[in-house]
Amino acid sequence: MIIRIFRARPKAGMADELAQLIEEVSIPFVDRQPGLVARYTGRGMGSSGEDLVMISVWESLEAMKNMTGDDWQSAVIPDEREAERIAESSVHHFRSVG
């Protein structure tokens, strides 16, 4: 299995708007992808500030590529309105162990 961690830091004053768009657009988009095993989405607390994170677990790299395309190491932001509210983002991938 592949674990994908997407983290977004919203632009100043846009955390609530970004969180709402993620709930309305990104979560349904990811949830309907074939090969998705699990998805967890959260907002920062404490030292994590207003960052948002989406952790998704995929059956395989090929299954994940159904969502990402061949450029699987880049962020997938399905709506330009989300992109406009993100100051910076990162994506990291891990193979499941144990």
Question: Which residues fall within 8 angstroms of residue 33, CB to CB, at 6 or more apart?
Answer: 63, 66, 67
Structural domain harbouring 89: 2-95
Q: How many structural domains does the chain have?
A: 1
Reply yes or no on whether the pLDDT at 59 is more than 80: yes
Q: What is the pLDDT of residue 98?
A: 87
Q: What are the backbone dihedrals phi and psi of residue 26, each rounded to the nearest 5 degrees, phi first? A: -70, -45
Mean pLDDT value across the chain: 95
pLDDT in tens, 21-55: 999 999 999 999 999 999 999 999 887 789 999 99
Rg (alpha carbons) of the chain, rounded to whole number? 13
CB count in 10 Å sphere of residue 47: 6
Mean pLDDT of the 78-83 span? 93
CATH at residue 38: 3.30.70.100
